[in-house]
Structure 1
């Protein structure tokens, strides 16, 4: 009798990486495969604190945690320090965990290590132990293609060794795919050259990470960006990775979700609500925060606004004078929300989003048009796909001082809500996403192929 397959799944320790990998882990567990999911102790504590009681007991996924090597007072937002610390201590813990599991039972063994593209060290540990490896791409296929093309871009003199574009023109990687603006590369971070350098290092490591992986899993579906997928022969698009009503007990949220917004949404007219959620790390200054508040007020639409405690960078002076009194029950403001359930609610009119890849996939899977306000990384190219490639949204354009004004918000809300073409395209993409996941669909077939190959490896 063969041993029961057992996989270890390791995300990068950040909201936008933990959530899709936890959804993937839950999906794998439903195929009779044992799953151990590894977080850092810091992230594990956050998930436990934001998860309903008993969820862990009922979950098909076993959660374990490793120290990340950082002290309690250390700044985990310091990318460079965090990366170096994790690389120093976590590979040894992973090796020990795998050895312990393999020795503990005659009936099971680690069949595969599945890791986020940013956690190359985990795949290297698996490779050194002779264990098959799957890498997960938590961003769009276009970003993967760009990273794989870095040597060619360097050779052609289009970028320098720091990843900076050497001219102002658009950079096209194939005739069919959307061109790149050199100021909007995923690693572009003009305010901090050290972080930009680190992000470019991550991007240049992608080719090697893909090379040492047996499978390349993408949280996308083939029909959404077939031209990019065609440039990566080894890619298996298996998305959208969604919680849905049936999957799992953990949504992978690092913050407690406020479900009171769901009953509030149920009371709003169909297709009327602006949902405003700028992700887990976007920050605004007080002036920009005030403009957003006053823009929502002047839109005259009901709105659900996610206001994290750390959304405003400097000392938060609160909402504009009289704002809460004036909006009354027309606006609902919460710290965090169960986003997929929000987006699936029929009261939604549009999604004012930072265009992170998870939010992009969730929004288009629910057929919701976008108002795009990217912050950094891949979000700019995601915005270009939303507005130019798929035509399911509009961009919020900052003024000459870099501020998205209340007038811009009011104007674009009005324009978006009266655009029947965008609404029709959004419904088409929703249907395309749905078809990819049902039996016979492209993502369904790719996932089945992965499971079969992994079980027989």
Structure 2
């Protein structure tokens, strides 16, 4: 058997690129696999520039790109538009790119294409060319099991076939006896443009079912129920245990502010409230104001990630003009982007105020940090159920505008709950031990790709 050559194709947003790029590092550095990583032209220059300085690109890992067709003036937060444009633009170009990559190394041609959600069309292209295909799922195994159960839920009359909303007879959704009951709004297809996304994923999951493996950054301890009802799912987590480079893949797109680590070094152990809502979420001005004043009200040190381009960003004069006038922030540090794994593992961190994206959820669990859950959309609501009700390592906010007093109250409640802290540490130990199982499953996948 030769060396497997993987063509990795993420959907062009950070929440997909980051975990897939991290996975590719593991395949290349730890297992000697060859990687061709396909990004959109939009991200390629940033990736290439960072790769040349960090040593990420090597003989075993090469970056290539194709246009995603999204106009520079278009709103990239319009995921429906990005999904459709990426597919229609790239689908005809991908066979030629595969041919060119194979032509450069005839002795080590592409043996397997790995795609993320929304890129099932690329999996179909690969299979048509006789190349193996696998899915790398950037969210939880439970979210994947939910999408895979769509048709069953429709047949059972539990959800509507056109928008995924529950029928009047069903106020809760229970995918199986091994999974928690969930409010319909916690389903990962529940979003503002419910009809488009639901119909897209109903078709997408059928395409993704052609992959032999569904790879998830999870463990059998974290999501046993989801694994039991989706036999294709292969838990290969926790992936952050295999981090092989000093720079995380997210820092290739968004520049990390390392000064926050020096600031954390000056804080007392378990004293800092860390607030980050990931790379996609933006909060409305009235909620941003309450969060800012809630952090002031806490009277505790805080580290707050406020991305440029959202509420609270610097204006043209370099001033933070969108913060409320009464906001002091004297006990905190605000950064545009943080080296999150390092932050969460810092002894000064007391808790993680999180949007509950899966990448952040896994990183927080692996670091043994209590969560204050603030989910916004999609699988974040499902992840909150696991954090609060299944693993019991955090507490959460309810829907609607969250006032500053509520923020203060919930943080103090979380920090005063020793039971949560103890469960966080126990879960961390278990997940670290799960690394052996994840490694075994990963080896099984690589051996399959070699055949």
For residues 177-215 of structure 1, the C-alpha deviation after alignment (integer angstroms, 9 at most, x for no partner) is 11121122211124xxxx322221233134423421121
Q: What CA distance in whole angstroms lies between the structure 1 residues aligned with 2:243 and 2:148?
A: 36
Q: What is the CA-CA distance between 1:50 and the residue it aligns to?
A: 6.2
- Shift in CA distance, 231/211, structure 1 to aligned 2, threshold 3 Å: same
Aligned residue for 1:204? Answer: 202
The one of 441, 448, 451 equivalent to 2:446 is: 451
Find 2:239's aligned residue among 232, 238, 241.
Answer: 241
Q: SS of 1:166's equivalent?
A: coil
1:66-85 map, 5 Å: 66-85=66-85
The structure 2 residue matched to 1:177, chosen from 167, 176, 179, is 179
Structure 2 Cα separation of the partners of residues 164 and 158 of structure 1: 9
For residue 383 of structure 2, what is the aligned residue in structure 1? 382
Residue 153 (structure 2) aligns with: 153
Please name the residue that 1:64 is paired with: 64
Q: Distance in 2 between matches of 1:76 and 1:203?
A: 19
Distance 1:396 1:51, change over 3 A: farther
Report the CA distance between 1:321 and its aligned residue: 2.1
Paired residues in the alignment total: 442
1:338 aligned onto 2:339: yes
Displacement after TM superposition at 1:318 (Å): 2.1
What are the equivalent positions in structure 2 for 1:56-455 lying under 5 Å apart? 56-57=56-57, 60-161=60-161, 162-167=163-168, 169-190=171-192, 195-242=193-240, 246-247=244-245, 249-253=247-251, 254-312=253-311, 317-324=321-328, 327-328=329-330, 330-398=331-399, 402-437=400-435, 441-455=436-450
Measured after TM superposition, the shift of residue 81 of structure 1 is 2.4
- TM-score normalised according to structure 2 size: 0.93
Query: Hey, what's the Cα distance between the residues in 1 that align with 2:301 and 2:104?
Result: 56
Equivalent runs, 1:11-26 vs 2, <5 Å? 11-26=10-25
Seen in structure 2, the aligned counterparts of structure 1 residues 106 and 310 have a Cα distance that, compared at 3 Å, is closer
Paired with 1:109 and 1:451, the residues of 2 have a C-alpha distance of 15
* Conserved 8 A contact 1:243-1:251: no
User: Which 5+ residue runs of structure 1 have no aligned equivalent?
Assistant: none
After superposition, the Cα gap between the structure-2 partners of 1:179 and 1:169, relative to the gap in structure 1 and judged at 3 Å, is same
What RMSD in Å do the two structures reach over aligned CA positions?
A: 2.1
| Cα distance change of structure 1 residues 342 and 356 upon mapping to structure 2, 3 Å threshold | same
Residues 186 and 377, structure 1, Cα contact 8 Å, conserved in 2: yes
* 1:315-368 deviation line (CA, Å, top 9, x unaligned): 9842222523xx42x201000011111111111100000000110011001001
In structure 2, relative to structure 1, the CA distance for the partners of 1:6 and 1:421 (3 Å cut) is same
